[in-house]
Amino acid sequence: MLKLKPVLYGLPEFAELQKLLEQKPAIRVKGLYGSFQAAAINFIKETRNCPILAVQPDGDAAEKLVDDLRSFMPAGESFGESQAVYFPSDEVVPFDKGLFTPALYSMRLNALAAAVEQPAPVIVTTPSALLRRVPDPAAFKKNILQLKVGEDFERDLLIQWLAESGYQRAPIIDEIGQFSVRGGIIDVFSFESEAPHRLEFFGDTIESIREFDVLSQLSIQQVEKVRMVGKIAGQAENALIFDYFPAWSIIFWEDIERCRRHLKEWWEEAAARFAERKGELKINSPEEYYLPLGQLSAAAKKFQHVFHSHLSEIQNSKFKIQNPTFEIQYPKSKTQIPTSEISDPKPVVSPSAGSGYTSVEPSEIENPTRPPGESAIAEKLDLHFHASPPPVFHGNVKLLVEHLQRSLGAGSGEKPQKIYILHDGEASRSRLEDILEQEMGELPPLTFIDEGLHQGFTLPRHSIQCLTDHEIFNRLRMRRRKRRLRISGSLIRSLQTLEYGDYVVHIDYGIGKYVGVERIQVAGIEKECIKLLYEDDDALYVTLDKLSRIQRYVSEEGFQPKLTKLGSAEWERVKGRTRKSVEHVARDLVELYAKRLAQEGHAFNEDGLWQKELEASFPFEDTPDQARAAEEVKQDMESPRPMDRLVCGDVGYGKTEVAIRAAFKAVMDGRQVAVLVPTTILAQQHYDTFRERMMNFPLQIEVLSRFRSRAQQQRALEKLAGGEVDVVIGTHRLLSKDVTFKDLGLLIVDEEQRFGVTHKERLKQLKVTVDTLTLTATPIPRTLHMSLMGARDLSIVDTPPTNRRPIITEITTWDQQLIYKAITYEIERGGQVFFVHNRVQTIEAVTGMLRNIVPRARFAIAHGQMREHQLEQIMDDFHHKRIDVLVATMIIENGLDIPNCNTIIINRADKFGLAQLYQLRGRVGRSDRQAYAYLIIPPQERLNDLALKRLYAIEEFSDLGSGMKIAMRDLEIRGAGNLLGHSQSGHINAVGYDLYQKILREAVEAIQEEKLPEQFIVDRMPIVDASVEIDMEMYFPDDYIPSPNEKVIIYHRLLNLDALSSIDNLVNELRDRFGPLPEPAENLVEMVRIKKLASQLFIKQVKIRKNQMTIVFDERASARDAFIEKELPRYINQSMAPLKFVQTEQLRALVTLNGKTEKDRVGFAKYFLRNL
């Protein structure tokens, strides 16, 4: 924003503002439209160099202002000492802590710490946050510890301080308020911090401080200092946020009328709730918790105020106070606050020599606590900036071009305007430049600024326009959150590791149970092994070099596998049955793929100007996955072979946009598009979405659904046959014989697995000749994707949109007050609610109970036993906001995308599986609003451990993307069933998911060699997993990695890395997290490097004994011509060491190793293999 600041701050209004700040204690301004407000507040900060408290009417406005302020601050400063920070309210409604989160607590502490420590911070807050009492500033400051690199601070003293300050000691940090100690390394996740920090000591000197990531536990960046805030134990919260600001601070009030109204409404609500819950709250009056409005006025009077009003009447000369008292209504009593408490009769600012201030009576100051209509302005407006909203283009490039030509004075005779285009990133700029150059012949004289704001503005008096690229194209701008979303690391890591008692699959020995890590003596050498138990408690010890042979057993949720009998032929029979079944699936897939390769299709043209305009008008930022999927689809369409691509991703992750871009591309080439969906309501939703996205282009879109009369459907079919319809959307009606196309070029199928066998056969016929794009919301894991390479083209979209917030999830028993609060809060903010009750027999009774709890809400019922037309009508009413609360069964599990619905209440949540709960909760949280999920359960003593574990997993996994990682193995198995056929579920359960994928990959590769045209066959050498035997101690000592679980995670990761560079990265991570590697750990890493090198050279076994290395080649590889032609000459032609071949049943080579010690000889073996 450095280009824009000199232009704005040079305007006469800012010079006048500076003069007013020097002269008046209360300044009334108007005309700070949109993000221009941030420019004004930053100007005040820069010129006055004082703390600023900026009060915004609501949390959304506050977060946007913080974002905009950081754009106006110098690059090095925006997260430095004078950063803008947000101080949120910790409640949604008075006396309610149910929706409080650690992230919210952290943000509040961060703002308080900035206020007590920084010389001139900008703290942005909301009216309700002003009323909430906070800890005393002096006590709060005492609980802050600052540490710097290079300073001496006793390590043990820091550990003691952390323990006494309310931090929990843990083996691995994954939550706010934890610390971990490993030798000279201390990890801390401070209560107010945006990320955890790692302090490395040398003795008692702090050698380095690094910010690190909770999930990976890897350092992100070096920092010079760290701040830690401790909990104030037993300290009453009696102070005000104002107490954190010195008297020379400035309070900026945005939309003062709304702020006043919010303050009054909050107190009225607090009074009412206090009367209802007096006994439960254990306080004598709401004043113990919240600041009375009179005291707020008294506390605020010591500051200078800037009031920004939106009312045009503010320009009138005077308003009189209509009522002598300001009343707070209690249900049973009335408390009146005299006017004297609102306006103290003493002057606000005492005149002093040379101050430039005049004595001002409080009646002349805009009182922030007055209700609407009680403005006490005695003087006229002080300053009007005249900033106005920018023009609205709705993504229409023609309107933009006309506006630019007019504004730049092209033939109009008017004074040319200076136009600034604010954009987020080079991609946005180049896309807009391309469009303007093609539309206007050349790029007009615009100034591009690579820095975004939430809202543009115009300054007509100065011929200045600031337009944002996201407003031009009608897109939402996402807030930049430096604060990383807190994801619970412990659960995610538990999916990567084994816990005691977990089932595992050993490729050679079958299904066993993991029972820990043990160290055993083998030929005088201590080795660490993974211990597995099989049937009859037979034990198997798996050495670390064989660890890649075992995987955690994953099956459908709730399935209990049978332990394999060691030494029996049972496991080989199970694998054999699975291979046979998988072969049929693989053959079908590969044969369809081969047919498409042999078929000549239509090669679509490359993207034109209109395609770029359509994509630029997408109202959200593309996620990386979404952009990649759209690109893959377009590349498929431009190839001469018919496309058959599956795009997989959760609802709301952007699959429909990928389909819209593909459809538009097809129409631009003169071809027709059919969009096939499983339900009428989805057809209507897609119809609305397609029309909205393509409204600026001359496309004809039709829908065939029951919402259309027979005559309308007949007319649509005639137009379709005549080529007048470009895109038709409908249910399986589209597959009827009477539906004909003039020139069908693209078929889009949504949720293909929900169609019947007949429809699928018809689809299979179409897919051979027509480009087909299939969409599914059931996750398909990337590993399965890799197994199907060359049999099915898949695009995975599993990155959530950038403005999504984690869904706050709460487990509760049936609580009428909570239900009332949840539903009322959602309705009051203009939203809607899902209430899930999965028993049709009692759904009417439950809805009746809900009507009694919230009489004002509009309820409707939806379940699968209703007549289809009735159900569709209810869903349509809900979609169009004619219903507030939809009481439904699991029918909504895979349903509409309703961004306005952001609260879901699930009754008897203990009856649902983890995947079902995840899917249900995914119905909300589809916008940038905070979403809430309430899981209602019976008293916990009536629940079994499995149900409780499942519920707490879904509660802890409230964060984004977590779903793909928990249930989500269950969901993925569902996805595999949908993709490969539901008969495969039994085989997945029999051998476990990971081994099933391995068998599938091998089957696909074998059939590809048989079925695919020669030019598409890759000469694949077999994948080899070498074993390595070295007479050295190789493990992580317990004093290096104390946590057994963490040790198993790292063993598993180390043994499953593909590239040598990845091993180096993991070694760097170990040094970062645990310090220098001890000798047994160094030996283990060397063994893994030799294992990887050997595997790449198709060696299945390496033995190092004294000065000789024995190499055994994999017989599948050594029998191939490619091995004889390319691999053997490496050994014959090398001159590093004496080598001789030995041919027994397997080809072997004996290599003489150089080196005096075992370590030297192992190092030489690695050198030999690396340099072959």
Lowest mean pLDDT among 81-85, 978-982, 1040-1044: 978-982
Domain ranges of the chain: 4-140+237-384, 144-229, 397-472, 586-797, 808-959, 1027-1170
- Is there a contact between 833 and 885 (Cβ–Cβ < 8 Å)? yes
d(CA 1058, CA 504): 22
DSSP-derived 3-state class of residue 235? coil
| Domain 586-797 CATH assignment equals 3.40.50.300 | yes
Residue located via tokens 């690229």? 469
Q: Among 893, 904, 888, 878, which Cα is nearest to 839's?
A: 888
Question: With bands split at pLDDT 50, 70 and 90, how would you rate the model's confidence at 361?
Answer: very low
* Comparison of pLDDT for 313 and 808, the residue scoring more: 808
Same fold for the pair 4-140+237-384 and 808-959: yes
Kindly tell me the burial class for residue 991, based on how many C-beta atoms sit within 10 Å of its own C-beta (0-12, 13-18, 19 or more).
buried
- In sequence order, what are the residues at sequence separation of 6 or more whose Cβ sits closer than 8 angstroms to the Cβ of residue 48? 21, 250
The residue type of 716 is A
Backbone angles phi, psi at 325, to 5 degrees: -130, 155
Q: Among 787, 816, 812, 847, which Cα is nearest to 1005's?
A: 787
Helices 1044-1055, 489-496: crossing angle, 10 deg rounding: 50
Q: Please compute the mean of the pLDDT values over residues 87-99 and round it to a whole number.
A: 72
In order of 152, 900, 1057, 1161, the CA distances from 1167 in angstroms are 43, 62, 19, 10
What's the CATH class of domain 144-229? alpha beta
d(CA 741, CA 672): 7
Q: Over the chain, what is the mean pLDDT?
A: 80
pLDDT in tens, 847-897: 999 999 999 999 999 988 888 778 878 988 998 899 999 999 988 876 567
Per-residue pLDDT at 189 exceeds 90 = yes
pLDDT in tens, 12-62: 999 999 999 999 999 999 999 989 999 999 999 999 999 999 999 888 889
CATH topology of domain 808-959: Rossmann fold (3.40.50)
DSSP 705-769: STTS-HHHHHHHHHHHHTT--SEEEESGGGGSTT---SSEEEEEEESGGGS-HHHHHHHHHHHHH
pLDDT in tens, 501-531: 888 899 999 999 998 888 888 777 888 888 9
Q: Please compute the mean of the pLDDT values over residues 2-13 and round it to a whole number.
A: 86
d(CA 305, CA 315): 18
pLDDT in tens, 272-322: 888 877 777 778 888 888 888 888 888 888 899 999 987 643 333 232 222
Kindly tell me the burial class for residue 743, based on how many C-beta atoms sit within 10 Å of its own C-beta (0-12, 13-18, 19 or more).
exposed
Instruction: Name the superfamily (CATH) of residues 4-140+237-384.
Output: P-loop containing nucleotide triphosphate hydrolases (3.40.50.300)
Read off the DSSP letter of residue 545.
G
Residue located via tokens 């893994």? 1088
What's the CATH class of domain 1027-1170? alpha beta
Per-residue pLDDT at 629 exceeds 90 = yes
Strands 1139-1143 and 1147-1152, bridge-based pairing: antiparallel
